[in-house]
């Protein structure tokens, strides 16, 4: 029995190692900061772990974890529950000007995302970071495809308004084109 548990743990740890970072990135876009994102992923992983032995080979753990994360995030937002999280302890890694620019823009985008209504933000992240089709996003968020379309349209417009047509967009375009 203990050996079975160990095997499950090992498989789960392997999954976290390979896919954890990706879900952490999704989480930071949903939450707006890395500490909260880590909390969100850890809380979601704990739930996934409980379900892990029951998942069969046809269940995509990514989809399962994504659903958990969206639900956990929704419940946090609804209860306005936020824990105090560690801050200001990590040194900034040495950054070149280009890296620093990118980090600054990244931070600006996260803050801009955080100003959007939760549902709009979730739609943008799931549509454009996770690259999910509208129908999947609708299923995940428990709304219609039409609502997803509306949120997408309004979310993009709002993001553009918040970020503004300033120079911060320029290095992004330049560095990724």
Partner 1 sequence: MMSTRESEDEARRLLALAAEDVPPSVDLVAGFQARRERRRFRRRHRPHAGLLIATGAVVAAASIAIAVTLTASPAPAPAPAGLAGPAGLTRAAMITAARNYRVNFLTIPVQPESGPAETTTGSFDPARGAGAETIDGVDIARYDGRYIYLRILPAARKIYEQNFHVILRPGQIWERVTEPKLHRSPFILMTELQAGSVASVQVLSPPGLVALLKGASHVRDTGRVSGPGWTGTAYSFQLSASMPVPSSKLSTIVTTRGTVDIDQQGRIRSLIGLTTSRTPHAPGGDGLTVSSVSLTFSGFGQPIPASIPPASQVIIRPRT
Task: Write out the residues near partner 1 by the rule CB under 8 A.
Answer: 9, 12-13, 16-17, 20-21, 24-26, 28-29, 34, 38-39, 41-42, 45-46, 49, 83-91, 93, 102-103, 105-107, 109-110, 113, 124-125, 127-129, 131, 156, 159-160, 163, 169, 172-173, 176
CB of 42 to partner 1, least distance (A): 5
CB of 16 to partner 1, least distance (A): 5
CB of 15 to partner 1, least distance (A): 10
Q: Which is nearer to partner 1, 113 or 137 (CB)?
A: 113
Q: Which residues contact 37 (CB under 8 A, 6 or more apart)?
A: 24, 27, 28, 30, 31
Q: Are 172 and 105 in contact (CB under 8 A)?
A: yes
Cα distance between residue 69 and residue 27, in whole Å: 8
CA angle at 104 for the pair 113 and 90, rounded to the nearest 5°: 100
């Amino acid at each position: 029995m203990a050996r079975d548990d160990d095997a499950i743990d090992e498989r789960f740890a392997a999954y976290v190692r390979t896919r954890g970072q990706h879900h952490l990135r999704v989480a930071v876009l949903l939450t707006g900061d890395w500490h909260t994102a880590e909390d969100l992923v850890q809380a979601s992983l704990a739930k996934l772990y409980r379900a892990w032995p029951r998942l069969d080979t046809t269940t995509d753990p990514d989809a399962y974890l994504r659903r958990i994360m969206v639900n956990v995030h929704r419940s946090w937002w609804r209860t306005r529950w936020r824990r105090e999280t560690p801050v200001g302890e990590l040194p900034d890694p040495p950054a070149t000007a280009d890296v620093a620019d990118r980090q600054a823009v990244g931070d600006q985008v996260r803050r801009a995302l955080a100003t959007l209504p939760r549902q709009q933000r979730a739609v943008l992240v799931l549509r454009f970071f996770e690259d999910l089709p509208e129908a999947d996003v609708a299923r995940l968020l428990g709304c219609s495809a039409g609502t997803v379309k509306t949120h997408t349209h309004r979310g993009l417009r709002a993001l553009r308004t918040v970020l503004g047509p300033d120079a911060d967009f320029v290095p992004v375009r330049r560095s990724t084109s």
